Structure 1
Amino acid sequence: MSPDGTTRLRSVIDDLGLGGVFGNRTDTASSCGCTVTFDDETLVLDATDCDGDLENATACRRTAIEALAERAATRIIVRSNGLERRYADRGVDLLESAGRFISLLGERDERLAAAAARDPIAVASEVRTRAGPIADIGVESGLIAAATGLESDETVLPATVGLTIGQYFVDRTIDDGAHLRDLQSLRTGSEARIYGRPGDVPRYALNAVDTALSDTDRRRLLEGYEAIAEGVVEGDRAPSRAIEYASDGAADPLLTAILTKHTSGYGILEDLFADPRVTDVYVTSPAAANPIRVVVDGESMPTNVQLTPNGARALASRVRRTSGRAFSRASPTVDATASLGDGTGIRVAGVTDPVADGIAFAFREQPADEFTLPALVANGTVPAAVAAFLSVAVERNAATLIAGTRGSGKTTLLGTLLYELAPKTRTVLIEDTPELPVDALQSVGRDVQALRTGTGDGPEISAADALRTALRLGDGALVVGEIRGEEAQVLYEAMRVGANANAVLGTIHGDGADDVYERVVSDLGVEPSSFGATDIVVTVQAYRAPGGRDRRLAKVEEVVGTGDDVRFEPLYELEGDRAVATGRIDRGESRIVNRLAGPTEDYAAVRRAISSRTELLSTLVNDGRTSPQAVATAYTGRGDERGDFSRSDETAHTDRTDEPPAPNQGGEPPATDWGGG
């Protein structure tokens, strides 16, 4: 070839970013501007001065192909102006095989070499029809095999995209045959779509607002992030002032919100929990290989979001920082609570090496502190009549267990019942992970002392020791956030001997009283005779409603019998989708109603109290007075006019007999048979 011809070819090749074919990497760098590095099996292109989109940027794609010809990779990451694009699977295979093809081809066919960098699939199609050495190179390089079944670069080079500082990627592809089932705009500015997929579970697709920013806004966001990271801007308003610093003017509220969630918040989780339908978010290990999953109205589905390895580590760091709990190889599990940037409370359960293959989390949104029993009546969770019975029972110191499966609303109901205790009652509350509304109760003047338990990490004490301590912290109600271990035996021994003759409340995993009995007696080692100290078991459940996942009170059962002959009788149970009275109370057969009577009352008086409480709760609901402050105000002075409902050691939990008392004709037993409490 003449010198002039070589010069013209070199010019064309340089225009295409193909200088590297002839060993001229300097020319390639000037054409493309990408810096090439490898991080284990990942090829990383820093495309600061380039577009970085391998689907459309021929020069950048040529740089990637040349690098892959020298060293294999399983994925490609291109960083450009605050965005990260990730390529994997068949797209990387295609670019690798194209690099090998160009390398093996050498100078046999400059046109074909140039075309392989622009359109590997078209070249594979051409080579497939040839015979001879070039066809052999197509096979040897793997280009023909990698391109088989592919139609164009666009079908194999879609990128998952994420914000550099966000440590995540979003997959924007849509499955074949998928149809849009739902669309939701989120308060963070992002958008959530749910796609139905034939023969598969739905997919939750997040269109993160982070990735839709203009180049200018992304630059400002990155400058603001660096200003905080380098300590140029500090303090409570750091994100807002950092954006002001980067913008040389007023802070953009959207940029401030995005910067806040990625510096002091929970990153992309803030967007997922901004969807009011999302109750749970799961990060499965290894996080970089599994999409984040969500539970939407009770339905579990994968999202189009994956964390990077650094993203999982950053999440673990946030959990440690916001919860104050240790989480490392030395303490490879964590159970804690934390708050999102908007104040939403979440419960966090996490595992890491060596008990799991990397970092994994389960996040659950906590019930809001403003829930009260009237609020549960208002939203249909608990019928007014059932709520009234529970209110009277708790106020009069019934030993109550709230049962249900995970996510059924046990803790929510328990929290609302704490407002139903007589206002002057001192309450000692024991929890491993703080979930009950202690601050809200204290804010309306309730005397609540919380004890935090743990599993031996740092200064924490065991649940059993906390319970023994609680019994010495004052006479009053005792609340155990979740009964699940050795504390069960201590609790029931205290109840059996009358060490705490006031209300005892707690939650326990189980579906109905029989299930709870089996768990407490068989699994937790409590004697059957001690279990008899329980007065009522309340079962709540989650269920699928037309509008999505919902919760309801399903059953209230009283404990009857003595010694080893403990059995249960339903007072309220589901009829259709609501719990209704079984008639046991109206027929005068309920033992717990008898024991709830005060020193000067009879069975009929307790029934009248339940009826009166039903009217009060209905009035509060109708008037919209369901907030903690409104409920506390309505309850002021309640109980003062009726005397002491505390049962003595002789009467508490000891008056069950094998046979129920016979009711009289009026449906209520005589005062002489039922008085005395």
Structure 2
Amino acid sequence: MPQPFVAQPRAASARAQEQVPVRPRIARSWHPALAPLAEYLEDPDVTDVFINGRSGLFVDRGAGAVPVPHWRASAEDVRDLAVELIGAGGRHIDDAAPAVDVRLDGGLRVHAVLPPIATEGTAISIRVPRFEHPSLDALQARGMFDTETRVRLDDFVARRENLLVTGAAGAGKTTLLAALLASAPQSQRIVTIEDVAELRIAHPHHVTLEARQANLEGAGGLDLARLVREALRMRPDRLVVGECRGAELRELLSALNTGHDGGAGTLHANSLADVPARLEALGVLADLDPHALARQVCSAIGVVVHVERSADGVRRLAGIGRPVLDGDGRLSIEESA
């Protein structure tokens, strides 16, 4: 029997020669179960770590996931790891709830799926934060946008535009949104609402609300739509929904249409042109027909900022647009130069 979670380590001399910095906060916050993955979680270039059942460990350093040679684990080992990590995040995973998402201390986001839903064995995905507290300066230095675009972003924040940040998974939506919010005046109160809290904002008045799953008896759950309503009672200067993915879209649009300037949200979309279709799909879940949705979005959202992850692994701001009504009264995004 192979030893569980065995990976060929790099030689100590090679690591010293590379002088690779580590993520101190993550290193301090490891759960003991993450020890076999420590080398990869410390690497500042790593954005994601994947365990695909017993078939392999994969690490993404920004240019796509690559397998880690010499890695070994049994199906039982991987399942046990999933149970332990989900438990460390305060949730429970078993055959009755086989797919769960949690946030661990240090900002790690862990998603796990048990078999038979994951047909090749337990699948674990770990999202590693690239920045402790992202700033617009840091993102500009990394090539996400140029000086001219930076001026526009600063202006959006100063004018309290309601922003929708869009992009594919891993494109940098949350990172950019956090940086934008960090540049808001320190006197403003920011309330963020997320399914799993990921927004790490360098701002002195940031209140985080995180959704909660129901317990085994089906009680105690708080979804994003309910949390948006609760947040409105907290007198936010900026109301933010980390990711719109369902009926909470209705509450967010309603809130931003009633004087809550400077709000924001993120949305999965492959391009600016795809944003209307994505919003219309969510509108169905929120009981909004395409025409009602279009009017709500045009009134509530001032600017759509789209980010992409290019083949070289660099996250870039790919486009900026504004919601408009097309000739049929449906939603369209007018891209600005």
Higher RCO (C-alpha under 8 Å, 6+ residues apart): 2
Count of residue pairs the alignment pairs up: 314
Residue 364 of structure 1 deviates from its aligned partner by 1.6
SS in 1 for 2:171: coil
Would you say 1:463 and 2:224 are equivalent positions?
yes
For 1:317 and 1:566, the matched residues in 2 are separated by 43
Instruction: Choose 1 or 2 for highest CA Rg.
Output: 1
Aligned to 1:337: 103
Q: SS state of the match for residue 472, structure 1?
A: helix
- CA offsets, 1:173-206, max 9 Å, x none? xxxxxxxxxx9767996999xxxxxxxxxxxxxx
The letter of the residue matching 1:428 is: V
- Following superposition, the deviation at residue 422 of structure 1 comes to 2.6
Partner of 1:471, secondary structure, is helix
Aligned pairs for 1:54-69 within 5 A: none
1:224-250 deviation line (CA, Å, top 9, x unaligned): xxxxxxxxxxxxxxxxxxxxxxxxxxx
Instruction: Tell me the secondary structure at the aligned position of residue 104 of structure 2.
Output: strand
Does the CA-based 8 Å contact 1:376-1:382 persist in structure 2? yes
Match of 1:346 among 101, 105, 108: 108
For 1:503, give the aligned amino acid.
G
Contact map agreement 1:337 1:346 (CA 8 A) in 2: yes
After the TM superposition, list the runs of 4 or more consecutive aligned residues in structure 1 that deviate by more than 4 angstroms. 183-192
Aligned: 1:390 with 2:158: no
Q: In terms of mean alpha carbon deviation, does 293-302 or 458-467 score higher?
A: 293-302
**Match in the other structure for 1:550:** 314
Alpha-carbon shift at residue 384 of structure 1 (Å) = 2.2
Q: Does 1:492 align with 2:247?
A: no
Shift, 1:265, TM fit: 4.5
Q: 1:315 to 1:474 in 2, by over 3 A?
A: same
Q: How many Å separate the matches in 1 of 2:14 and 2:150? A: 37
Tell me how far 1:556 sits from its aligned partner: 0.9
In 2: Cα distance, 1:520 partner to 1:338 partner:
30
Instruction: Write the deviation string for residues 89-109 of structure 1: whole angstroms up to 9, x where unpaired.
Output: xxxxxxxxxxxxxxxxxxxxx
Task: Report Cα offsets for 1:100-156 as digits up to 9, x if no partner.
Answer: xxxxxxxxxxxxxxxxxxxxxxxxxxxxxxxxxxxxxxxxxxxxxxxxxxxxxxxxx
Aligned to 2:280: 521
The alpha-carbon distance between structure 1 residues 401 and 188, as it changes in their structure 2 partners (threshold 3 A), is: farther
Is the 1:280–1:362 contact (alpha carbons within 8 Å) kept by the matching residues of 2?
Answer: yes
2:51 matched to which residue of 1?
283
Match of 1:537 in 2: 304
Name the SS of the counterpart of 2:133 in structure 1: coil
In the superposition, relative to structure 1, how do residues 459 and 436 fare at CA in structure 2: closer, same or farther (>3 Å)?
same
Q: CA deviation at 1:321?
A: 3.8
Q: Secondary structure at the match of 1:389?
A: helix
For 2:44 and 2:267, how far apart are their aligned partners in 1?
Answer: 27
- 1:294 aligned onto 2:59: yes
CA distance in 2, matches of 1:473, 1:398: 20
- 1:260-294 residue CA offsets vs partner (Å, 9 max, x unmatched): 97x82403211233344432221123x2xx12122
Provide the rounded CA distance (Å) in 2 between the counterparts of 1:486 and 1:306.
42
Q: Is the 8 A contact 2:135 2:179 kept in 1?
A: yes
Counterpart contact for 1:512–1:538, Cα < 8 Å: no
User: Do 1:475 and 1:500's aligned partners in 2 also have CA atoms closer than 8 Å?
Assistant: no
Relative to structure 1, the CA distance from residue 371 to residue 475 in structure 2 (aligned partners, 3 Å threshold; closer, same or farther) is: closer
Equivalents in 2 of 1:276, 1:347: separation in Å? Answer: 16
1:396 Cα deviation from its structure 2 partner: 1.9
User: Could you tell me how far 1:311 is from its partner in structure 2?
Assistant: 2.4
Q: Give the alignment's TM-score, normalised by structure 2.
A: 0.83
Question: Are 1:567 and 2:329 an aligned pair?
Answer: no
The one-letter amino acid paired with 1:550 is V
SS at match of 2:259: coil
> Where do 5+ consecutive residues of structure 1 fail to align?
1-76, 78-85, 87-161, 173-182, 193-256, 572-581, 583-677
1:638 matched residue in structure 2: none
Distance 1:186 1:487 in 2: 49
Distance 1:385 1:460, change over 3 A: farther
Find the residue that maps to 1:267 and give its secondary structure.
helix
Assess if the C-alpha contact under 8 Å between 1:186 and 1:271 holds in 2: no
Q: Give the distance between the partners of 1:191 and 1:338, measured in 2 at CA.
A: 31
Secondary structure of the residue that 1:502 maps to in structure 2? Answer: coil
SS at match of 1:168: coil
- Check the 8 A contact 2:321/2:334 in 1, yes or no: yes
For residues 184 and 505 of structure 1, the distance between their equivalents in structure 2, rounded to whole angstroms, comes to 43
Structure 2 CA distance for aligned equivalents of residues 322 and 399 of structure 1: 35
Question: Aligned equivalents of 2:44 and 2:200: distance in 1?
Answer: 21
The one of 202, 206, 214 equivalent to 1:448 is: 206
The Cα RMSD (Å) is 2.9
8 Å Cα contact 1:452-1:460 kept in structure 2 = no
Residue 425 in 1 paired to residue 262 in 2? no
Question: 1:389 and 1:383, CA in 2 relative to 1: closer, same or farther beyond 3 A?
Answer: same
The 2-side partners of 1:417 and 1:274 are apart by: 26
State the Cα deviation string for residues 2-25 of structure 1 (Å, max 9, x = none).
xxxxxxxxxxxxxxxxxxxxxxxx
Which runs of no fewer than 5 residues in structure 2 stay unpaired? 19-26
- What is the deviation of 1:464? 0.7
